[in-house]
């Protein structure tokens, strides 16, 4: 397994990162099988493991911590915070100091460790000043509970803002960004990945197989039924959607390219993501031992220039096939109140208009008299 340096930290991580997102009720709650997968990943040379508190609401961290056991110091262990962990409780989510400190302590307990190698902000939080977030994370580093910090699915402009705050307010800075990236999700090539390179960060990409679309199982006339992902996120595989029909068409073309290169579509898709110079590691997230074996078989695949050019001709650089692959949508897009002038302001305008009309009416009356 190839090792790469994580940003400018001097810490080496494997080209494939074992993602434990499927550990727990979301995918696989069998501790024995999950431990077997972790051992197999270690044997294959993977030293980088990633999870999040929100994956199966903490169960993923617990299972991964038990699976690593005494091997914990041999690996780079990453987890994340930010997404809701307390149902309707508004203070058990987000990027506030109050939540970060509690979330970190909870993750340390579930993982069975006294430090986290890489602690990542799972998503931006428009309600929290980035200085508040970086201040709390910096304190965790100084306390020895966290070694490095990173962001996940941040737009390029927010990555830039975080570095400005770090430099000008004496905060620790993000060393990594974890964005969605695949042949079907290339938008970040235009902004996020160049920004990551500019600031000496590493990109640790998630969903390199585009939610399973690029595994080779999805083909026109032979799409799977009743898969784990279909049951949990059925909207991603609705065949009545035009973007999903387009994916099926593109898969047929990509399968030809993979065949000409002498490899499977899945291995070509994985190798595509790790070929980008900004990408340090691609997260693989197996649910079963057999899935892990299939993913590991592609660890040494390297794509030729001809194959990469052929992929570019099918899916243009910098483009996403579906909004499902965006990962993060700014609240300014989803919350219409952020695209409207406040009612108070509108009422003020209405008041001004009324006064203006009264003045015009008075002037007209005076003119008549």
The residues carrying an active-site annotation are 55
Q: Is the dihedral of CA 167, 171, 172, 177 positive or negative?
A: negative
> Helix, strand, coil % (nearest 5) of the chain?
50, 15, 35
What is the DSSP pairing of strand 12-14 with strand 3-5? antiparallel
Distance CA 68, CA 298 (A): 24
- For tokens 């006339």, name the residue: 221
> Crossing angle of helices 265-274/305-314, nearest 10°?
100
* Residue environment code for 185-200, b if the CB has 16+ CB neighbours within 10 A, otherwise e: bbbbbeebbebbeebe
Please list the residues that pair with 17 across neighbouring strands.
283
Structure tokens at 95: 């990027």
8 Å CB contact between 123 and 83: yes
Task: Pick the closest to residue 217 from 289, 275, 294 (CA basis).
Answer: 294
């Amino acid at each position: 397994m190839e090792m790469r340096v994580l940003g400018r930290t001097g810490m080496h991580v494997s080209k494939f990162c074992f993602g434990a997102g499927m550990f727990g009720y979301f995918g696989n709650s069998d501790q024995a099988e999950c431990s077997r997968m972790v051992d197999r990943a270690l044997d294959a040379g993977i030293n980088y493991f990633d999870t999040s508190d929100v994956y199966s609401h903490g169960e993923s961290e617990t299972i991964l911590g038990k699976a690593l056991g005494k091997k914990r110091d041999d690996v780079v262990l990453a987890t994340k915070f930010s997404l809701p962990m307390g149902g309707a409780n508004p203070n058990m989510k987000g990027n506030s100091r109050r939540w970060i400190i509690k979330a970190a302590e909870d993750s340390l307990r579930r993982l069975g460790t006294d430090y986290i190698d890489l602690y990542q902000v799972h998503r931006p939080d428009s309600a929290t000043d980035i200085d508040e977030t970086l201040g709390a994370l910096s304190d965790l580093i100084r306390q020895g509970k966290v070694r490095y910090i990173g962001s996940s699915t941040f737009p390029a402009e927010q990555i830039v803002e975080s570095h400005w705050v770090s430099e000008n307010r004496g905060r620790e800075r993000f060393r990594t960004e974890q964005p969605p990236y695949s042949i079907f999700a290339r938008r970040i090539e235009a902004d996020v990945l160049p920004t990551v390179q500019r600031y000496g960060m590493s990109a640790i990409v998630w969903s390199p197989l585009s939610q399973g679309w690029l595994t080779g199982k999805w083909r026109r006339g032979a799409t799977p039924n009743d898969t784990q992902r279909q049951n949990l996120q059925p909207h991603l595989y609705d065949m009545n959607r035009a973007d999903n029909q387009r994916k099926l068409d593109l898969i047929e073309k990509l399968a030809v390219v993979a065949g000409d290169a002498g490899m499977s579509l899945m291995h070509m898709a994985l190798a595509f993501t790790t070929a980008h110079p900004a990408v340090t590691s691609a997260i693989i997230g197996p649910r079963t031992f057999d899935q892990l074996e299939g993913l590991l078989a592609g660890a040494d695949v390297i794509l030729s220039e001809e194959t990469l050019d052929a992929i570019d001709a099918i899916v243009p650089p910098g483009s996403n096939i579906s909004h499902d692959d965006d990962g993060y949508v700014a609240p300014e897009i989803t919350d219409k109140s952020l695209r409207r002038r406040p009612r108070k302001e509108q009422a003020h305008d209405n008041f001004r208009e009324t006064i203006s009309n009264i003045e015009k009416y008075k002037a007209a009356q005076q003119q008549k008299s």
